[in-house]
Structure 1
């Protein structure tokens, strides 16, 4: 992937955030940080998905235990 400028990264994150809002969802700061790391070529898309999925499953598990 070609290196993105900070402006391009911010636009991409804003687009994803808007798309999620249309679906009634909201990205949290941690998930957005995974996106930034992906766009900065610090992690792969697979790693970003894995981290996000793990976070969601752990949160769901905590809710079930409560």
Structure 2
């Protein structure tokens, strides 16, 4: 598994063969914690992408990005 560096407490996914996903959470001074499939409230988590600051302002105004943004499904 490739190591992914992110902010403490973030939940991130690792794509495996055949479209399978495993979700992990990074906790300070701990190993990667496997959290399984995201369900309920956790499905609203943000997928980490680099976004132009102007797009962030637009999202605040209209409630969503005006470009294709990756979704869980």
Aligning the two structures, in what range does the TM-score lie when normalised by the shorter sequence? under 0.3
Higher relative contact order (CA 8 A, sep 6+): 1
- TM-score, normalised by the number of residues in structure 1: 0.25
The structure that is strand-richer by fraction is 2
